[in-house]
Amino acid sequence: MEKEISATSRRNVLKTIGAGAAAAFTLGRLFQPEAFAQQEPAAATRMRTFTGPGANPYWNSVGKIATFPQKAPLIMLTDRPVQLETPRHYFLDPITPNDAFFVRWHLESIPNEVDLYSWRLSVEGNVNTPLQLSFSDLLRKFKPVTIAAVDQCSGNSRSRFQPRIAGGEWGNGAMGCARWTGVHFREILDMAGIKSGSIQVQMEGLERGKGPKGMPSYEFKKSLDLNNPVLDESIVAYAMNGEPLPMLNGFPVRLIVPGYFATYWVKCLSWVRLLDKPDENFWMNPGYRVPDTPRGDTSPADVKAGKVKMVPITRMPVRSFIISPDGDTKIPAGLPVTIRGTAFSGSGPVVKIEFNDSAHGTWRAAELGEDLGPYAFRTWKIEWTPRRAGTYQLAVRATDAKGNVQPDEGVWNPGGYLWNRIERQEVTVGAAE
């Protein structure tokens, strides 16, 4: 297969635009022509600067809105690598639209286009029969499966960390939920036949870039243990919400690892490799490791003293969010308001969502929205009538099926991962005449 990746530059960002749309169009002919009849010709990258975060905790510190190929205007953290955050209001819906879905790449040179006719998914390494699967092999030789699942960056909400951690300064928008359609990863592995002595499966994406120690070329590679039950639920997805994946979200296929942080959800998945030794590449070690403590919590002092044992990050802790109202909404005293939000957990379904209108008040159960499955967003709502004018600290907390409840303390670890503290939204209630 071809490994055509050009160096990223301003010019190439623009080139991405046209090529991304072209790649999607190629897929359209093969897959879902209707979806593409409506595809807009990609617009040029536009940017405008906003004044500041105001009372909206979903705003990141950069405060720039950018429009990338196949994407709605999103909050841009960096353009090389591309890091785009989903604006808050999209989370009122349990499914995040493809064009609003957040974007995170690590390497500067990301694929501009993928020619589906020459593209192959290689399955190699410690296997009986190495495979070269075409896109149509994936469509025709396997039974399609669909699962709704949340894709969340390990560093979502990193901007909350104290002491501060350098890295993508995400607000709460480095997450999204889509219906992913594809092939059970296990079926592909079975087709190749895993040789005895294999211990991990490695996934590699198409992009290349400068490596950790300034290495001129580096790949994005992640691995999972073959005895990890999460592999039984993992999917090689070729569709996202019934449409081809946007180029920036991993066209033509990506791995879906339900319940696990997005770092394993390798985009533009093109090589699957069976390993007989543990993967020690940068993205597995030291990348994406968390302290081996119950919450993945530690302190800068303990890290400095070399006291902390680090292990690969795995499942996402339970989280919930107040999406509406935001801090800018004017609320009159005495009138009922509907508070709305979303929740999810990497350990099975969210079973309870509770709302509180002050730091010391009682928690009231909220009404759960549509159930799209254990790994999807679960929206919620509750009616609230503030009696008096003043400032209120609205809070939400979720409990999952394993009994995990969101804590009221932040977490700290050197990667800026695993944030799941109870979220609060300050609102101002005005006197009603």
Ligand X SMILES: Nc1nc2c(c(=O)[nH]1)N[C@H]1C(S)=C(S)[C@@H](COP(=O)(O)O)O[C@H]1N2
Q: Does 422 help bind Mo ion (rule: CB under 5 A)?
A: no
- Residue of minimal CB distance from ligand X? 205
Answer yes or no whether residue 102 interacts with ligand X by CB under 6 A: yes
Nearest to 295 by CA among 310, 314, 320, 317: 317
Nearest to 237 by CA among 254, 224, 249: 254
**Which tokens in the block code for residue 424?**
């609060």
- Partner from ligand X, Mo ion, none contacting 258, C-beta within 5 to 8 A by type: none
Q: How far apart are CA 47 and CA 257, in angstroms?
A: 33
| Shortest reach from residue 268's CB to ligand X, in Å | 5
DSSP class per residue in 304-332: HTT---EEE--BPPPEEEEEES-TT--EE
Q: Which of 116, 127, 147, 153 binds Mo ion (CB under 5 A)?
A: 153
What does 267 bind: Mo ion, ligand X, none (CB cut-off 5 to 8 Å by kind)? ligand X
x/- track of binding to ligand X for residues 133-152 (CB under 6 A): ------------------x-
The helix or strand, by DSSP H or E, that contains position 428, with its residue range, turns out to be strand 423-430
- φ/ψ (deg, to 5) at 360: -115, 0
Q: Is 85 near ligand X (CB under 6 A)?
A: no
* Contact letters for ligand X, residues 187-206 (x by CB under 6 A): ------------------x-
**Strands annotated E in 126-212:** 131-133, 145-152, 175-184, 200-204
Q: Contact with ligand X (CB under 6 A): which of 42, 75, 133, 153?
A: 153
Instruction: Supply angle C-alpha 316, 321, 325, rounded to 5.
Output: 165
Tell me how far, at minimum, the Cβ of 369 lies from ligand X, in Å.
23
Q: Which of 161, 170, 220, 377 binds ligand X (CB under 6 A)?
A: 220
Q: Which stretch binds ligand X (CB under 6 A): 8-16, 184-192, 264-272, 342-350?
A: 264-272
Asked if 106 is part of the footprint of ligand X (rule: CB under 6 A), the reply reads yes
Residue 313 binding Mo ion, by CB under 5 A: no
Residues 6+ apart with CB under 8 A from 38: none
Contact pattern for Mo ion over residues 182 through 221, marking x by CB under 5 A: ----------------------------------------
What whole-number distance in Å separates Cα of residue 406 and Cα of residue 363? 13
Q: Can you tell me the distance from the alpha carbon of 155 to that of 141, in angstroms, rounded to the nearest whole number?
A: 37
Q: What is the contact surface with ligand X in residues (CB under 6 A)? A: 101-106, 151, 153, 205, 207, 220, 249-250, 262-263, 265-268
Q: What is the contact surface with Mo ion in residues (CB under 5 A)? A: 104, 153, 262
